Structure formats: structure tokens, C-alpha cells
Structure 1
Amino acid sequence: MFDVYADEFHKLNVDRSSGRAKPHKVCLLFAVFDLIEDKQIPDNRIFFNDQLKARFTYYFNKLSADGDRDNPSLPFFHLRSSSFWHHKLRSAVNHKHKYAVSEKSLGTYIEYAYLNDDLFALLQNENHRNALRQCLTQNLSELGEQFKRWAVEIGKSEKTAKNYVSALKTTMPNWMKTLGNDVGSIFELSSLSEFKLFERKLRETSIFQERDFTGKRMYSAALKAYEDFLSDTTQVQLQEDIDDILKDDTKTVTEKSVLVKARVGQGKYRQDLIDLWGKCALTGLENRDFLIASHIKPWRDSSETEKLDKYNGLLLVANLDRAFDKGYISFDETGDIMISKELEEYTKLGISSSGKLHINEQSREYLLYHREMLFRI
């Protein structure tokens, strides 16, 4: 049964009226996966609520193009053309009644959406969710354009982003083609596992090693950026970390729940950071809807105690959180911001070179780790 849904997700009927694939259905399904994972969709009822809309917007901001509208009501309605997505209409609604698609009409006529029962059961499994995420990415046409926008959003210049796209789409595949390995554009490798296999073979070739050296490691940087893009889009590292928690037989159900919520920046861990910081640690923004709770020392490198330690966490707005998580910014021992040379146009992200963090003494060791192990000098 998994193979049936993998094939359907791979060939999702997306809107191509503008000449390219719109990301709306993919973004909504990504959002549903996240909410199932976070236990915010505990049973097979998908309500059109603020949690779903906020998670949709999170992915939409990553994958949308100019002219796309942040409107989750469209995919919530139009996914009904797929065999796995259904609507539970309100009791007084005539099933043959036609209505315009809007948030208001969804609330008036649709009680909730639901999936095929066997698909909902499959989505309880972390590995299945992760694999189906990667199937969905196949629907994002012009993945090179998606990657280019993503690169600019994390502070790369337009020139650098274009150079990366050219290297990934043409230059490096041509090197492999001359060696008898014709893979086409690297952007056709939308699975992280497929990409890593290709990258390993590429890095072993003498032509890559020579050109990368003379090109001042630009080709290595392009490969690393695309890996980050795929990881960011499909949240592979997050999925793996949560899977490790759930497989740990030494933990009780309650302990696993606490750890999962801490990993995704929710639950008590998020509240601890709100109590500690109260606002964005760098900008001072107080609106909690825009703040992300994340770890200073990465989850995968932290001990059991460090994973739940509030002093190993920061509250940051989304763009700063991403820059910090990827090592593009860090903070010195006095709290002054450090900006990587790789972050070419940081002011476009709202990052100021005069930014300063008020450091808690208990956070110093974590920040030292971040500077020494993650910061991209």
C-alpha cells in the first residue's frame, strides 16, 4: 500500500496553469505531516485552523515564487481531486451545492478534511512520512529556481546563487558525463539520499578535485548549499532525530513525548525559553507567533541533559534562527554578533553588524561550541 501512495504523491495533480508547478498542495501536505508528527492531528480529522495555516505559510515562504499567493484554502479544497483526500461537510450542507473557495466558505461548508484510513495509519510512521515528503518534492518543477530563491533568502548574492545553479545544473553533471555517468541535472536528484550518493562519487573524481581547488572551493560550496536546501525542505535531520527518540526503548512514553517536543521547539522547552528570554534574543520582537525556539548546541551533538537545558536555547525570529542554525551568524564571548563571510547580503535578512546578545552565564559554553564547531568563518 505504501508504494501506491508513493506513486500518487510523486505524480500529484498540481496547478501548472502559469507554466510551472504551484507549491500549494505540497506545502499543505508538508504541514499535515508536521502536525501529525507533533500530535496536533491526533486522529483522522484535519481542521482548517490556525496551526495548519501557520505551518502551510512556513513551507510556502520557502517554496513560493513571485505571483504566488499565500492561500492555504486553495489546496485544502482542491486536494479533493486526489483519491486520498476527502471533506466532511457540515450536516446542513447540500453535497451538490457549489461555492467559491475562500476561508469563509470552508468554515461554512466543510467541517474537516480526512485521509484514507490506511494512509493516515502509514503517516504515523516516521520513515513513511520522510519517504513521502521526498516523493512530494518531485512535484516542485524548476527545482533550480526554488534553490536559487532559497540561496538568496539565506544571504547569498544573486551572482553567487546563479553560479551555484549553473554548477549544479550543467558544469558538474558534464564532468560526470565525460566519465560515463550521465545523470542529467543535479536538480533531478530531489531525494537527499540520491544526492549524497551522487556527491560521493563526484568528489572522488580527479576532475572535481582539480576544478574545485582552482575554483576556490566554489563547487564544494554549491554542493553543500544544495544539500542544506534538500535537508531544509524535507526536514530530514529533524525526522531522523525524532525517529531515534521514538526507537529508544530505555525511555518511557512520557519521556519520549518531552524529548520530541523539545526537539521541535514546542511544549515545556519552548515555554522555558519564553520565560528565560521573553522576546527575540537579538531583535527584541515580543510577538510569540514569530519566534522560534531552537538549540544553540545542536540536538544531535547534545547530551541528554543538554537537550532539555533552557540555557542551550535561543528565541529568534525565523530569518535569524535559520542563519544561526546554519552557522552563518554566531556570537563572540561578549555577545557581539559574528557574521560569516559566506553571508554576502546579510542586511537583506534584517541582520545588523552591530547586533548584540545579552549572554546568560550558563549559556557561554554552548555559544563557545557554536562558534568553534558550527560558525562558517
Structure 2
Amino acid sequence: MSFKSWLLEVGKSAGTADKYSTAVSGVISTWAIDAELCTERLDDVHTVLELTEIEEGLQNVDIYIERNTRGKNMYSCALKTFIEYRRQDSSEVLEQDVSNIIENNLISNTEKLTYISARVGQGRYRHNLIGYWERCSLTGFSDVRFLVASHIKPWHAADNMERLDTYNGLLLLPNIDKVFDLGFITFSDEGKIIVSDHLEETDILGIRRDMRLDLEDAHLGYMRYHREKMFERTIS
């Protein structure tokens, strides 16, 4: 899926999608190449690590700073969103997480299988979430074949107990899972949805501002982490 198509999928308007994709493949790439931060256009850079290093390097490039300030952070927002697209669009992070589990000599092979299954949203963890929620946690959609097992506090930030904790999970339709994972929505301690002003075309995504989750006390620490660390994290 192209960056522009992905932007449309996560709720950006056609105008914003065109502006961001053009900026990344155009002037931002040119500035990065001219500053010798890379040798190819950003469209051809696929690793999150390299893109992050380029992003950091651009903070010292005068023309980038000037144009980004004049453009009210449009260029930095476009680049951050592109990095998130690469993170979501590749298996790089997933493969690294699974590799870390396999190489961990402090846990048994049985535990490794459990953690790997939880990481990819299958196995016992998904089964436990289905048993707890029974349907989409937010919309009530009942056919679990279409639902995604989603961690509230993300895998990379959680410890082994948190990764398998049913209260650290939601069962969501794919479109809801995507915007939650990207930090465009989160929830209050009362379960009321909080929608970023940067999320456009919410009606098409099936998101309403009167939606709420039925949260228990055990969910609250995880959701607090999501509000503080994940909500609007791709937005400058």
C-alpha cells in the first residue's frame, strides 16, 4: 500500500494525503539528500531506524527549519507520519520482537511460544480476549473472525506479564484498531472516547464522539499509558 493510500485509510483527507506524500517524496527528500543524510529519496528508504536518523539530522538543516516553521510544522508532521507508515507497513518491528523472544534464555520454550502467539495476536491471548469481550470492545460487532486482538499498552513498552494480561487488550474492528494503535483516538478513565482533532472523516471510519468502552479498574493503568504516551504521538 502506498503512503498516500495509507493516509486515506487512516482518515486523512484527500488534500492532506496529497500534501504529505508530495512533501515526503519531493522537497523533504531533496533537503535530506543535499544535507548528505541519505543518498536516495525517502520513498526508497524502508527501515524505521534510518528514517529516524534522517529526521533527527534534518533538525539541523536551515532550510528545513525555516520552511517547517513557515509551514506551521507541516513538513515535520508529514515526515513523522511517513515514519509511522513505514513502521506499520513493514514486518520489521514484529520480526525484531519475535527474535528477542526466541533469543531470551531466561524463559522456557513453552513460554516463548505463548509470548510469540500473543505478539502476533493469535493463540491463547486472542482466545482470552474473545472470552472477555465476546465482541468488538467499542462497536459491539459480534463476528470475532473480523476482529483484531490489540494491546492497549504496546508490546514494545510492556513487560512479560503485561503482554499477556487480558486487561491490557481490546478486541477491535480493523479500522478502529488502526486509529487506536496510531494514537488518533484514546479513552478516558470512564471509557469515553477522545478523538484527535487531526483525525478527519471520522464518520467514514465509523467513529462517533459519543462512543465509550466498558472499562474495569484493571484497564485504567494501561489506558492511562496510552493517553499519555500514545495519543497523538505522530502529530507535531
- State if a TM-score over 0.5 links the two structures: yes
Equivalent-residue separation in structure 2 for 1:157 and 1:215 (angstroms): 18
TM-aligned CA deviation for residue 334 of structure 1: 1.4
In the alignment, what sits opposite 1:204? Answer: 60
1:157, distance to aligned residue in structure 2 (A) = 1.0
**Gap regions ≥5 residues in structure 1:** 1-62, 64-145
Residue 196 (structure 1) shift? 3.3
Q: CA deviation at 1:179?
A: 4.5
Per-residue displacement from partner, 1:77-107 (whole Å, max 9, x unpaired)? xxxxxxxxxxxxxxxxxxxxxxxxxxxxxxx
1:226 aligned partner, one-letter code: F
The alignment status of 1:337 with 2:188, answered yes or no, reads no
Deviates more, 1:212-221 or 1:177-186: 177-186
Match of 2:45 in 1: 189
Q: Partner of 2:157 in structure 1?
A: 301
Aligned to 2:182: 326
Cα offset, 1:325, TM superposition: 0.8
How far the C-alpha of 1:215 sits from its partner, in A, is 1.6
How has the CA–CA distance of structure 1 residues 201 and 286 changed in structure 2, closer, same or farther, with 3 Å as cutoff? same
- What displacement does 1:176 show? 3.8
- CA drift of 1:180 comes to 6.3
Matched, 1:230 2:78: no
Q: Deviations over 1:24-67 (max 9, x none)?
A: xxxxxxxxxxxxxxxxxxxxxxxxxxxxxxxxxxxxxxx3xxxx
Cα 1:180/1:250, change in 2 over 3 Å: closer
Q: In structure 2, what residue type is equivalent to 1:308?
A: L
RCO comparison, higher one (Cα < 8 Å, 6+): 2
2:21 alignment counterpart: 165
The 8 Å contact of residues 137 and 213 in structure 2, kept in 1 or not, is answered as yes
Report matched runs for 1:37-48 at 5 Å: none
For these two proteins, the number of residue pairs brought into alignment is: 233
Contact 1:329 1:375 in 2 (8 A): yes
- Structure 2 unaligned blocks of 5 or more: none
- The answer as to whether partners of 1:281 and 1:316 remain within 8 angstroms in 2 is yes
TM-score (ref. length: structure 2): 0.92
SS in 1 for 2:171: strand
Distance in 2, Cα, partners of 1:310 & 1:175:
46
Pair 1:208–1:289, CA change in 2 (3 A) = same
1:219 has 2:72 as partner: no
| CA distance in 2 between partners of 1:258 and 1:238 (Å) | 15
Query: What is the match of residue 292 of structure 1?
Result: 148
> Given the alignment of the two structures, is residue 351 of structure 1 paired with residue 213 of structure 2, yes or no?
no
Q: What is the alpha-carbon distance in structure 2 between the residues aligned to residue 204 and residue 281 of structure 1?
A: 44
* TM-score, scaled relative to structure 1: 0.59
Q: Distance in 1 between matches of 2:226 and 2:120?
A: 19
Larger radius of gyration: 1
Whether the 8 Å CA contact 1:173–1:183 is kept in 2: the answer is no
Q: Which residue of 2 aligns with 1:174?
A: 30
Distance 1:369 1:193 in 2: 24
